A and B are shown apart, each in its own frame.
Chain A
């Protein structure tokens, strides 16, 4: 306990000395806020964003529990709690957003060789290398294991050919972790390998995808005779599917830690929108039909929120119902946006120009973006399959 109090004191002092003022709550609002993803191509509007990342990265506190030999903070769970509390106390901004931290690093720690951990983890932790995820393909969506991007064994290296899709931020990333087919003759789950590929290698190219909502972070990524050294293979050749699934669990864990419903789309309040655009009589939304539709939705959201809380209070049982949370989180979000644009009327389908408010134009785009919610990360239909088979035990 003495040690923990000592640690708290050190953390407090270090943060006080090292966390730039613009990275704390109450910073001058005129200083631009960077969304810091790190990497070789990173650009910073505020140099203090970079300074804060470098300082936290050097301490290994972007992944505080990882051991120091891999560049982590080497902290215990109790010490991490203290670090979080002290950062929260001064309103310190998180220094780094990173698919490397959320998805790849946990998998490297479990499946990587000593050399691979030493090579890649420190760069993830310092934010020097930005990673993207190469999973889906044009022909492999829900049926991911049917993926066709092939990696041919060519002695000390693989030759990779194929295409990935929905690779978020591939145009800004330095490396990609990709699922490739190394065993074309094996059953589909037994011919997949987990490969790390430097995006600067000759033959790798990316192209951004424009969604129905406009610009997006999604890209297509192409591999044309890309030479990848064998040392970049994680785990055994043709044994990548287990790693792929482990990584998906980490992905879901970080997605749910963001709180699905609130992080997706517009956070505007449905009832105030309805009162503003439809009208208000005696404090009520003046159109009874809209009011009942909105209420029915609000009741469902209330019960869903209580269900998230109950799962937390029950502790640990959440994994059985993770599919339900994904399903309802995305379906409710879609419904909420449908009700928002309906309540906003003509302005709810505004696209461009000075005649419309920015927030209404943003709402139109947010509504369109939610259409992807029930597709990305496993479609609603896949979630229903999982519930009926794994939870209810219905036969295949």
Chain B
């Protein structure tokens, strides 16, 4: 496994870089937030991303996708992360596309994948039930009634859940809290009876929801993957999601760091630019090194995902841990080095620190993944 991008991946990255610069600079996000946009992402911008083929990158060609892989979608998310571009690309282009392409039945694929490619539908993965991510503790119930299932329970922190057309929901069909066995994934259309979406207002001003299921009826055909294999399946989907999110977080960190270095070269105090102060130089150099380590961890994880590495889980936890820690460090230091302007709402840096802490919570914090890395490594 070579830790470099292919030409194809570099091309995707460059396209995304131009797109983010021209179409979705941070001012785009700011206006969505200020205008309290209903979805907190822009439908026209999303359609432009769809037209570039991004929603189909993890979808096989026979369903209209390009099958460019996790590395392909991750370099795009990294670039989008640099300008805090809000869109359903993560929830739909990564989670929904990957889940259905890899675990869906023929009927599910035919039904949903072309619509993801065309932008007709967006999806959301509903896993968490409490303030801390832990799929094994799922209590959300799917009770078998004859050939049907009755879904009951509440999901929280569902990314793009307020606007999704399709939910992929993790439910317990047997066993107890703490078991990954006994879990099953269902694909459910969000418009059917018994589903209630409650918008969540999070610090990063993105689209999240709590979703309540009240006697929602599903059939065998709605199961994603096999009955009772949802634990293993969802872990795989989550790992792909963790890796892609790490790439986005790396983009956040790179951007906040670049802004800070520019500021250190311009801001004058005591008659000199503050970048001449060694107290700041050394901290800047440390951030540079941490970002370099994060790049390597993300690079290893995206290629590990595409090459189906048997180290995938460890690489995913490595990337999510390091990306979380680095982004926390950089977003804190960026504000401190900017001084007063860094804590004003008018300046963009506040968006980065808000995004950093919410992103860290997505599919397990750095602490969660440090523990998981230790368990997977036999420490």
Contacts and interface: CB of A to CB of B under 8 A. Distances in A.
Given A299-B322, A387-B289, A396-B276, A309 B282 contact: no
B289 A328 contact: yes
B333 to A, nearest CB: 13
A342 interface: no
Nearest to A283: B378
Interface of A: 271, 274, 283-285, 291-292, 294-296, 298-300, 302-304, 306-307, 309-310, 313-314, 321, 324, 327-328, 381, 383-385, 387-389, 391-396
Given A299-B318, A306-B3, A394 B284 contact: yes
Nearest to B273: A395
B374 A295 contact: yes
A321 B3 CA distance: 16
6 contacts: A298-B374, A299-B370, A309-B296, A327-B289, A385-B281, A388-B284
Main secondary structure of the interface of B (DSSP, over half): helix
B49 to A, nearest CB: 28
B159 interface: no
A123 B102 CA distance: 66
Main secondary structure of the interface of A (DSSP, over half): helix
A291 B372 CA distance: 12
Given A310-B4, A327-B289, A392 B370 contact: no
A292 B318 CA distance: 14
Interface string B231-270: 0000000000000000000000000000001001100000
Q: Closest 6 A-B residue pairs measured CB to CB?
A: A388-B281, A387-B285, A310-B3, A306-B296, A307-B296, A303-B293
B4 A384 contact: no
B265 A395 contact: yes
B179 interface: no
A296 B367 CA distance: 10
B318 A392 contact: no
B147 interface: no
Interface string B354-379: 00000000000000001101110111
A324 B292 contact: yes
A313 B4 contact: yes
A306 B300 contact: yes
Contacts of A384: 281-282, 285-286
A298 B318 CA distance: 10
A310 B296 contact: yes
A385 B279 CA distance: 10
Contact of B276 (A274, A283, A395): A395
Contacts of B374: 284, 291-292, 295, 298
Contact of A271 (B286, B300, B322, B379): B379
A285 B289 CA distance: 30
